[in-house]
Structures are given as structure tokens and as C-alpha cells.
Amino acid sequence: MAQWIQGTVVDNIHRTENLFSLRIDAAVDDFTAGQFTSLAIDIDGERVARPYSYLSSPGQRPLEFFCYTATDGLLSNALVKLDSGDQLWIKQQPTGFFVLREIPVADELWMLGTGTGIAPYISILNTSEPWDRFQHIVLVQAVRTQADLLYQEMIKTFESKYPDQFSFQAYVSREPVPGTITGRVPASIENGSLEASVGRQLNTELSHIMLCGNPDMVKDTVIVLKGRGFRKHRRRTPGHITVESFW
């Protein structure tokens, strides 16, 4: 059984009204990019724990998590208040199968995320493995407002380091922002606007698609992709779609 260990907050960067980056020092076990752990705080004598994906890559310190403050959310409203030097609990052992070793052979990797669902992709893209394995990588970051388009500097470093191997597409649902797609991910796959914008076609022979974040996006995108002949990937029945829902 996974053990709780103490972590110390290095810093807590409040990026928007409801998004923050929590950086922690803790002697956790090695993890694989794309995995998650659990964070917890004892509130009124009870340990309140929730899963959080690593945004930092294996070996990187401090550990980093990209967090959303959920309305009335018990843990996230406590985490957002933490300051440098404060303590919290973290599971020593990592969990999860949203990792590249679970992805079958493919030429192209499409990484589609909403909100904080971009965290595991950043962890993966900051390792060498995806760049060694895939001919092309498409990263999609779908958010509500322009201010929510965070970690752009990091994404720009992928663009400049891998100009022919990497495409990035932002979606902003609540305001028109030049260069972004307005609207939802499933609709844009259905009407072809994502593929038109990145200049590549999703292809059942070549593409593997990872979906992460909002469960409605995950569910509806799977439905649209199934309509185009893609299948969910399982170890026993290989397919094209790998998912991680955040709630």
C-alpha cells in the first residue's frame, strides 16, 4: 500500500483566480512521466486526499503540480492557501497508466487536454522519449479564457526545439482570441477545424490520441473518434485512444 510522506511547499504561484502551480520538495519514489500521485491535508482531523498528475518530469526538482481551485472543493481550496515552508502529505509511490509505455506503436501522437489536464503532457514532453518515438506530436490545450493559457513559455520551447515535429493548438471557449479555436474539442474534430488548423489528418493507421481532463470532453471526444473508426486502447485489444478523466 502506498505510504504518505510529508512534503514541504517550495512555492505556490497563483496564476489566475482559480489556477495555481504548487511546487513541493518531498522524497517521493521515481515516477514515469504521465503518472499521478495523491496530495492530502488533514482538515478537522480527517485526511482529505485527491489525485494530482505530476507536471514536473522524472528527476526534476522541486516537484510541480498544476492545480484548479474547484468551487466548494475541499482540498483544492486548502492547497491554494499553502505558502512556502508549509507542510502537506504526498503519496510516496506514483500511480497510473497514462504513460508512453502503454501507448502502442504509432507515427503520430495527439495529446488533447483541457485546463489542468495539460500537466501530464508537459511532464511527458520534457522527456526525450516522445521525441525519439513519434514522427509528429500535436498538443492541444483547451481553456476558458486567454489568461488560462498557461505554460506557454514551455510550449514555445517545444516549438522552437522541434519545429518540424511539433504542432500546438490552443482552444479558448469563452472569448475570441486570434490563432485559437473557439469552441469545444469534440465539435472541432467533428467539423474538421482542428485538423485544418494544424494541417494534419487524424488517421487510424498512423495516429494515437491521448485525452485528459474534463470527463465530458473525454467522453464526447471518444464518441466522435469512434464514429471515425478509432477504438479505445486496451492492453488486450490494442486501439488508438488512451484517456485520463480528472473527475
Ligand X SMILES: Cc1cc2nc3c(=O)[nH]c(=O)nc-3n(C[C@H](O)[C@H](O)[C@H](O)COP(=O)(O)OP(=O)(O)OC[C@H]3O[C@@H](n4cnc5c(N)ncnc54)[C@H](O)[C@@H]3O)c2cc1C
Q: Does 37 bind ligand X (CB under 6 A)?
A: no
Among the listed ranges 74-82, 148-156, 173-181, 193-201, the one in contact with ligand X (CB under 6 A) is: 74-82
Task: State which of residues 9, 63, 119, 181 lies at the interface with ligand X (CB under 6 A).
Answer: 119
Task: State which of residues 36, 121, 166, 171 lies at the interface with ligand X (CB under 6 A).
Answer: 36
Which is nearer to ligand X, 197 or 214 (by Cβ)?
214
Look at strands 63-68 and 19-25 and give their pairing.
antiparallel
Q: Does 224 bind ligand X (CB under 6 A)?
A: no
Which is nearer to ligand X, 72 or 164 (by Cβ)?
72
x/- track of binding to ligand X for residues 50-69 (CB under 6 A): xxxx-----------xxxx-
Distance between CA atoms of residues 233 and 162, nearest Å: 27
Which residue has the CB atom at the shortest distance from ligand X?
73
Here the cell at position 225 is 473518434
**What is the closest distance, in whole angstroms, from the C-beta atom of residue 175 to ligand X in the complex?**
18
Going across the sheet that includes 166-172, the strands are 166-172, 136-143, 108-114, 207-213, 241-245
Q: Does 244 bind ligand X (CB under 6 A)?
A: yes
Task: State which of residues 76, 167, 169, 197 lies at the interface with ligand X (CB under 6 A).
Answer: 76
Which is nearer to ligand X, 65 or 230 (by Cβ)?
65
Which is nearer to ligand X, 70 or 187 (by Cβ)?
70
Which is nearer to ligand X, 170 or 198 (by Cβ)?
170
Here the cell at position 10 is 517550495
Q: Does 70 bind ligand X (CB under 6 A)?
A: yes
Q: Does 20 bind ligand X (CB under 6 A)?
A: no
x/- track of binding to ligand X for residues 80-99 (CB under 6 A): --------------------
Among the listed ranges 85-93, 113-121, 165-173, 174-182, the one in contact with ligand X (CB under 6 A) is: 113-121
Which is nearer to ligand X, 220 or 244 (by Cβ)?
244
Q: Is residue 141 a contact partner of residue 149, using CB atoms and an 8 Å limit?
A: yes
Q: Which residues bind ligand X (CB under 6 A)?
A: 36, 50-53, 65-68, 70, 73-77, 115-116, 119, 244, 246-247
